Amino acid sequence: MVNLNSNDFIIEMLKINKTFIGVKVLSDVDLNLVKGEIHGLVGQNGAGKSTLIKILNGVYTSDSGKIIINGKLIDDNENYLNPKQYAISTVFQEFSLIPSLTVGENVFLGIEPTKGFLTDDKYIERETKKILNELKMGEDIDPKEKIKNLGISYCQIVEIAKSLAQKGEILIFDEPTAALSYKETELLFEVMKRLKNKGISIIFISHYLDDIFKICDRVTVLRDGRNVFTDYVKNTKLNDVIKALVGYNTYENNYFKRKKIDKSSNPLLEIKYLKNDTANKLKDIKLNVYKGEIVGVAGLLGSGKTEMLNSIYGFDKKCDKLLKLDGKKIKINSISDARKNGIALIPEDRKKQGLILNFSIRDNILLSILDKLMNFLFFINDTNGNKIVNNLVQKLKIKLENIDQKIKYLSGGNQQKVIIAKTIITNPRVLLLDDPTTGIDIKSKEDIFKIIYDFTQAGNGVILVSSELSELIKYCTRILILKQGSIKNEIDCSGIEKNINEEELLELI
Please give the pLDDT value at position 273. 82
Residue 483 has pLDDT above 70, yes or no: yes
- Between 149 and 396, the more confident residue is 149
Residue 138 has pLDDT above 80, yes or no: yes
- CA–CA gap between residue 386 and residue 357 (Å, rounded): 19
Strands 88-91 and 170-174: parallel
Please give the pLDDT value at position 162. 87
Least-confidence region, from 23-32, 109-118, 250-259, 426-435: 250-259
Please give the pLDDT value at position 4. 67
Mean pLDDT along residues 437-441: 76
- Between 118 and 251, the more confident residue is 118
Mean pLDDT along residues 26-48: 91
> In terms of Cα–Cα distance, which of 174, 182, 200, 42 is closest to 96?
174
DSSP designation for 58: T
Length of the chain: 509
Mean pLDDT along residues 471-495: 85
Please give the pLDDT value at position 250. 46
DSSP 319-343: -EEEEEETTEEE--SSHHHHHHTTE
Residue 40 has pLDDT above 50, yes or no: yes
Please give the pLDDT value at position 497. 45
Mean pLDDT along residues 415-434: 90
Residue 32 has pLDDT above 90, yes or no: yes
User: What average pLDDT does the chain have?
Assistant: 84
Its sign, for the CA torsion 126, 128, 129, 134, is: positive
Please give the pLDDT value at position 295. 94
Please give the pLDDT value at position 276. 75
Residue 322 has pLDDT above 80, yes or no: yes
Please give the pLDDT value at position 469. 82
Mean pLDDT along residues 267-288: 80
- CA–CA gap between residue 225 and residue 17 (Å, rounded): 9
Mean pLDDT along residues 187-203: 87
Please give the pLDDT value at position 213. 93
Reported confidence tier of residue 251, pLDDT bands at 50, 70, 90: very low
Please give the pLDDT value at position 27. 94
User: Is 236:248 a contact under the CB 8 Å cutoff?
Assistant: no
User: Is 392:425 a contact under the CB 8 Å cutoff?
Assistant: yes
Highest mean pLDDT among 50-54, 227-231, 240-244, 406-410: 227-231
Please give the pLDDT value at position 274. 82
Reported confidence tier of residue 254, pLDDT bands at 50, 70, 90: low
- Between 378 and 197, the more confident residue is 197
- CA–CA gap between residue 509 and residue 503 (Å, rounded): 10
Which residues pair with residue 33 across a beta bridge? 11
Please give the pLDDT value at position 103. 96
Please give the pLDDT value at position 317. 72
pLDDT digits (tens, 9 = 90+) for 41-86: 998 777 888 899 989 988 888 999 999 998 888 876 666 677 878 8
Residue 430 has pLDDT above 90, yes or no: yes
Residue 375 has pLDDT above 70, yes or no: no
Please give the pLDDT value at position 129. 95
Domains of the chain: 6-246 (3.40.50.300), 265-342+428-509 (3.40.50.300), 357-427 (no CATH)
Least-confidence region, from 78-92, 232-246, 373-387: 373-387
Please give the pLDDT value at position 499. 66
**If 0-12 CB within 10 Å is exposed, 13-18 middle and 19+ buried, where does residue 206 land?**
buried
CA 200, distance to chain mean position in Å, is: 26
- CA–CA gap between residue 3 and residue 232 (Å, rounded): 10
Mean pLDDT along residues 338-357: 85
Mean pLDDT along residues 445-464: 90
